[in-house]
Amino acid sequence: MLRLAVPFVLAAVLTGCSSKEPGTPSAGNQTGGTPTTGTSAGTAPVNRPKAVDLKTLDPCSLITPAAKTSLGLGVVEPGNPLPEYGDGSKRCNETYADHKYIANIHTLVNGGVDRLKKTTGEAKLTPLQVAGYPAYLTKTESPGSAGACEIYIDAHDEQLLLVTGVAGFGDKSATVDGACERAKALAEAAGAVLATK
């Protein structure tokens, strides 16, 4: 099982961050299409299609059979969650049929955007929108591969959905940019389903 060295995790470990505050549900319409707001990013309200408590979410449920086919995924299966992502975190592993890339979807339940910006460094994060959700992209090194691309989706206050694409192992044609293309497409597909939960 591949365990990526994630700057988000390393910084938390190196700074001895042991205080964890549980997230609180966002105010707003939790069942309709009206965007909900929260304060995950500090003082500014967060505009989301729907705030979803990731502690109750199976990340594999975000990949529909149609998305699996259209994304070229060969395998979608539960994986071992990483303890550094919080008690109750879950993981889903994806393998592409062409074997050039692999991917993971993690639920991070022990900190949101503020923590991400402090541990990864705001300068290393590229803001983007994923299926209507605020998100952040960063590229990282991944031992034994050409590198990884991580997309953090602000799904709920103090919780993030992490979609990681990793460039193939031993395949010279796999690149970090290719991993980012795959991660973005996977994040869009997962985010669209997330908004319906």
What pLDDT, on the 0 to 100 scale, is given for residue 41? 43
Number of alpha helices (DSSP H) and beta strands (DSSP E) in the chain: 4, 7
Residue ranges per structural domain of the chain: 53-194
CB-CB contact of 156 with 38 (8 Å): yes
Termini Cα distance of the chain: 28
What pLDDT, on the 0 to 100 scale, is given for residue 91? 98
- 120-142 average pLDDT score: 94
The mean pLDDT value of the chain amounts to 82
Q: Tell me what percent of the residues of the chain surpass a pLDDT of 90.
A: 67
For 146-186, what is each residue's pLDDT tens digit? 889 999 999 999 999 999 999 977 678 889 999 999 999 99
- Return the higher-pLDDT residue of 82 and 171: 82
What pLDDT, on the 0 to 100 scale, is given for residue 116? 95
The CATH T-level fold of domain 53-194 is Protein Transport Mog1p; Chain A (3.40.1000)
Residue 20 has pLDDT above 60, yes or no: no
Whose tokens are 């059979």? That residue is 65
Of 164, 162, 125, 127, the C-alpha closest to 142 is 164
CB-CB contact of 59 with 106 (8 Å): yes
What pLDDT, on the 0 to 100 scale, is given for residue 177? 93
What pLDDT, on the 0 to 100 scale, is given for residue 118? 93
- 189-194 average pLDDT score: 97
- Return the higher-pLDDT residue of 109 and 142: 109
For 31-40, what is each residue's pLDDT tens digit? 334 444 444 4
What pLDDT, on the 0 to 100 scale, is given for residue 172? 80
- Which residue type does 103 have? A
- 53-60 average pLDDT score: 96
